Amino acid sequence: MNRFIVGVLLFTSVSLSQKAFANIENPPMSVYSSVEVDPFITYEEVKERINQVAKQLAFDYKSEEIVLVMVMKGALCLAVDLIRAISFPCTIEYMQTSSYGMKGEYRGGLEIKGVEALNLESKNVLLVDDIFDSGNTLSQVYQALAKKNPKSLKSLVLVSRNIPRDIDYRPDYVLFNIEEEDGFIVGCGFDYKEHYRGLKDVYLLKDLQAISDF
């Protein structure tokens, strides 16, 4: 076959594929579940708050270099957008915690992995996590990072749930507050059994039985 024709066919195929996927850049919840729900927090709202917080961080740190330590996997989406919005020197590290079982239920004991590999001594550290719920995870991670002798240590979360807590610790920066009666949230890093994490918007699931059983 003529090389020119092959090239045209390949270009046309790629163009059609890009066009086909252009409309599902931010797929609705119905793509993943038979339940139709509306976004609880839109991606546009998330980006607006991230930009606001990035400016506040520049002021608070006086544009000194900081190290973002994101808690995998929930803080992944937030950390990526945040580091893009920060206008002063910033590096990124990661660690991992686990306290939820495969079926979404609270498992209890907290596992913290990856802290031992971090070099944070004399550095400005910003701990980034997805949610401040009971507060146990963030407070324990904070204590673990504090042992690495950073110059300063603060924390930032995408969502904080307004509930009574047994601990005094609170994050330094909160993008959104939700109420105690609000249900399980997915999207923008939040997952249910490792699914829905990639949705740009944050969705509220009040009935976990109504979504697909993975």
Q: Which of 121, 173, 109, 113 is nearest to 147 (CA)?
A: 121
Q: What is the arithmetic mean of pLDDT over 13-34?
A: 44
- pLDDT tens digits, one per residue of 188-206: 998 888 888 999 999 987 6
Q: Provide the CATH topology of domain 28-210.
A: Rossmann fold (3.40.50)
Residue 139 clears pLDDT 70, i.e. is over it: yes
Does the pTM exceed 0.85? no
Strand 66-72 vs strand 184-186: parallel, antiparallel, or unpaired?
A: unpaired
CA distances from 148 to 21, 116, 118 (A): 45, 9, 8
Sign of the Cα torsion 113, 43, 205, 156 reads positive
CB neighbours of 165 closer than 8 A, spacing ≥ 6? 134, 135
Structure tokens at 192: 């249910």
Residue extents of the structural domains in the chain: 28-210
What amino acid positions are annotated as catalytic residues? Answer: 133
